[in-house]
């Protein structure tokens, strides 16, 4: 073990209370235990420990907001730097693959059950659900609209944050559990939910919610206004050379967009955020990296309207002040009267969050007030045969939370299937 890594492993206190796992990690990975196995250079054991709760360690180790999750709850972080949990998790994944181990080495082989589940959507939630069902012997088929799996992991997150070969290794590991995939099959176009209901014992719906939200301001329909989610997913960027670009938003999608566009040769990239820097939901590291790469920030600014004949030419901004409002847990941005000003701009990227596709309204499932599919505590929809998770079901917007929903849904689907088997046996 190289000395730098050894120091990071030994830095862990192996806490009995495990706040990093129980409080910080959405997947409740047994962090102290996998680090202790790593300390002994038992890489496969470390991978097995992680694989009890996750099938995405190579991904989450790289892109999770560690400072807000596991590392944010680390006891070491109270008086100093937290343990480098994400880095160690990613290292385990890389090391075991270097040594020739795979996910199949972490699970005991089980006999195939006469139960079939369809997973619609091969993103973090769908892949996790499929894996945790398959390792229990349930027959799983993934229906994926693209000719690849991974969802936002493949193209929604830039390569400089998550290399594509890591996603490919992760997907291949999961498929090796015996999962069938039907590629280029899109819900609502190539098949309907009712087509699958008679073929499968349960359905897990996880097609994501990647339609960029809009501000509702004048000029938003002009040429040159793009949704950040779509730009990243489809990689259909305009020519940014010698162009000025504004990215609106304060989350990781805004950081990914601004850094990507900057790397593609834009003359100037400015992130406009209506709150203060310390209120940005993006990771501090991502903000720092964006600044280091030359991205500018206009904090406490808001867009009033977008100006131009047919395409974007200018944008009118207004400065904001942060005030305390009754019933609000954090300071609220309020426009400062007569602080309006205009600047020239060529493109505006909306990175303000996302919502499900419109056709989701036609699926015959109950939706919540935000347009997400409504689920109960077992991740079951209004149709008892259909479960849902990830962004589509309004699960907290990180990969780890999406994976958590897939894993927990798998547990409930398995329980329902096993009970059906037991009920059948009881009547024999």
pLDDT at 235 (0 to 100): 87
The pLDDT of residue 39 is above 90:
yes
At residue 80 the predicted structure's pLDDT band, cuts being 50, 70 and 90, is very high
The pLDDT of 366-376, averaged and rounded, is: 94
Q: Which helix (H) or strand (E) holds 126?
A: helix 124-134
Q: Above pLDDT 70, what percent of the chain?
A: 97
Tell me the helix, strand and coil percentages in the chain, rounded to 5.
40, 20, 45
Nearest-angstrom CA–CA distance, 45 and 105: 10
- The pTM for the full model equals 0.92
The number of angstroms, rounded, from the C-alpha of 100 to the middle of its chain's C-alpha atoms is 28
At residue 190 the predicted structure's pLDDT band, cuts being 50, 70 and 90, is very high
pLDDT at 326 (0 to 100): 84
Q: What are the backbone angles phi and psi of residue 174, rounded to the nearest 5°?
A: -65, -45
Every domain of the chain and the residues it spans:
3-105, 116-209+356-426, 212-354
At residue 74 the predicted structure's pLDDT band, cuts being 50, 70 and 90, is very high
Query: Which of the following CATH numbers is that of domain 116-209+356-426: 3.30.1600.10, 3.65.10.10, 3.40.50.300, 3.50.50.60?
Result: 3.50.50.60
Higher-scoring residue by pLDDT: 386, 330:
386
Q: What is the pLDDT of residues 165-175, one digit of tens each?
A: 999 999 999 99
- How many other β-carbons are positioned within 10 Å of the β-carbon of residue 369? 7
Q: What is the pLDDT of residues 210-224, one digit of tens each?
A: 899 999 999 999 999
Q: What are the backbone angles phi and psi of residue 425, rounded to the nearest 5°?
A: -60, -35
The pLDDT of residue 232 is above 60:
yes
At residue 153 the predicted structure's pLDDT band, cuts being 50, 70 and 90, is very high
pLDDT at 236 (0 to 100): 86
Residue 50: name the closest of 125, 131, 141 by CA: 131
Q: Where are the alpha helices (DSSP H) in 179-302?
A: 193-197, 228-234, 252-263, 284-292
- Tell the CATH topology of 3-105: Fumarate Reductase Iron-sulfur Protein; Chain B, domain 2 (1.10.1060)
Largest CA distance in the chain: 79
Q: Indicate if 212-354 has the same CATH topology as 116-209+356-426.
A: yes
Nearest-angstrom CA–CA distance, 141 and 396: 26
- Tell the CATH topology of 212-354: FAD/NAD(P)-binding domain (3.50.50)
- Given a contact cutoff of 8 angstroms between Cβ atoms, the answer to whether 124 and 392 are in contact is no
pLDDT at 420 (0 to 100): 59
Residue 210: name the closest of 230, 225, 188, 226 by CA: 230
- How many other β-carbons are positioned within 10 Å of the β-carbon of residue 63? 22
pLDDT at 2 (0 to 100): 58
Q: Above pLDDT 90, what percent of the chain?
A: 89
**E strand segments, 228-365:** 244-248, 268-273, 296-299, 301-307, 314-323, 332-335, 341-344, 347-350, 354-355
Sheet of 116-120: strand order equals 180-182, 139-143, 116-120, 202-205, 386-388
Q: What is the pLDDT of residues 269-320, one digit of tens each?
A: 999 999 999 999 998 999 999 999 999 999 999 999 999 999 999 999 999 9
């Amino acid at each position: 073990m190289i000395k730098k890594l050894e120091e990071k492993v030994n830095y862990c206190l192996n806490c009995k209370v495990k706040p990093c796992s129980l409080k910080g990690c959405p997947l409740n990975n047994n962090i102290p235990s996998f680090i202790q196995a790593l300390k002994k250079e038992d890489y496969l054991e470390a991978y097995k420990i992680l694989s009890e709760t996750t099938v995405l360690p190579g991904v989450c180790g790289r892109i999770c907001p560690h400072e807000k999750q596991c590392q944010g709850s680390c006891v070491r972080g109270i008086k100093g730097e937290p343990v480098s949990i994400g880095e160690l998790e990613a290292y385990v994944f890389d090391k075991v693959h270097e040594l020739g181990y795979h996910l199949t080495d972490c699970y005991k082989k089980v006999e195939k059950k006469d139960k079939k589940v369809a997973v619609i959507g091969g993103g973090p939630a769908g892949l996790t659900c499929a894996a945790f069902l398959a390792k229990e012997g349930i027959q799983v088929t993934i229906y994926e609209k693209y000719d690849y799996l991974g969802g936002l992991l493949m193209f929604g997150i830039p390569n400089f944050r998550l290399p594509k070969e890591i996603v490919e290794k992760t997907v291949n590991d999961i498929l090796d559990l015996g999962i069938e995939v039907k590629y280029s099959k899109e819900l609502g176009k190539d098949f309907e939910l009712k087509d699958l209901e008679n073929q499968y014992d349960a359905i897990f719906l996880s097609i994501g919610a990647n339609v960029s939200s809009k501000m509702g301001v004048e000029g938003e329909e002009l040429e040159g206004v793009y949704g950040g989610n779509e730009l990243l997913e489809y990689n259909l960027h305009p020519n940014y050379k010698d162009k000025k670009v504004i990215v609106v938003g304060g989350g990781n999608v805004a950081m990914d967009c601004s850094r990507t566009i900057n790397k593609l040769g834009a003359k100037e990239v400015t992130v406009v955020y209506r709150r203060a820097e310390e209120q940005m939901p993006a990771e501090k590291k991502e903000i720092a990296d964006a600044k280091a790469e030359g991205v500018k920030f206009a904090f406490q600014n808001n867009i009033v309207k977008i100006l131009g004949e047919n395409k974007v030419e200018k944008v009118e901004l207004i400065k904001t002040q942060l005030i305390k409002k009754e019933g609000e847990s954090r300071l609220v941005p309020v426009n400062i009267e007569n602080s309006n000003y205009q600047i020239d701009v060529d493109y505006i990227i909306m990175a303000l969050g996302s919502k499900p596709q419109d056709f989701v309204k036609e699926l015959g499932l109950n939706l919540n007030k935000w347009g997400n599919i409504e689920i109960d505590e077992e991740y079951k929809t209004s149709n008892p045969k259909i479960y849902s998770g990830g962004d589509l079901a309004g699960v907290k917007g990180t990969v780890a939370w999406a994976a958590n929903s897939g894993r927990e849904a798998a547990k409930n689907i398995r329980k329902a299937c096993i009970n059906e088997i037991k009920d059948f046996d009881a009547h024999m």
